[in-house]
Amino acid sequence: MNLKRNTHVDYEVKFLHHIPNNGDRRNHEVPNLGLNHWLFVREHNQLSTKLHQLNPCWSNEKVFQEPRRIIIAQVQHIMYNHFLPLVVDYDTMRQFNLFSKTNGFGHVYDDSVDASCLNSFGIAAWRYGHSQIMAEQSELKNDYRTVFEHRVEE
């Protein structure tokens, strides 16, 4: 397996409408979401490199999947400990036991529970997510100090 990093290319960013190209041509429609995707892709690649160095006998698939699991856990931690408490209040989080464990693992997964949801509920959640998109985006100019705002439609 060849995971050599070209340091010049590693720090080179290709921008599409001021947003790094993260493999999805729609990433410029919601710049903050596109940047989040890009951030987690970079984190995955960095973890893959480190894990491959520590475990050179791992297959390509394992070198891909293990960092993927770590990234999923990070996203879940952010969602359940930082985002969701802002959407629903603390009492609701506690009532439904939605907080992540502070240590160890939870063994609450039950594969006999139907995890599907009504399409109307899924659409409502999707619509709620879209309502959180801010109309204006703030950016830094090349001097990394000057902030300017523009509407997402521009």
H helices of the chain, in order, are: 7-10, 31-54, 60-78, 84-87, 90-95, 119-131
The dihedral through the CA atoms of 88, 89, 92, 94 has a sign that is positive
SS3 helix, strand, coil % of the chain, rounded to 5?
50, 10, 40
Q: Using an 8 Å Cβ cutoff, are 33 and 22 in contact?
A: no
Question: Is 107 labelled as part of a ligand binding site?
Answer: no
Bind-site residues: 130
Bind-site residues for heme b: 130
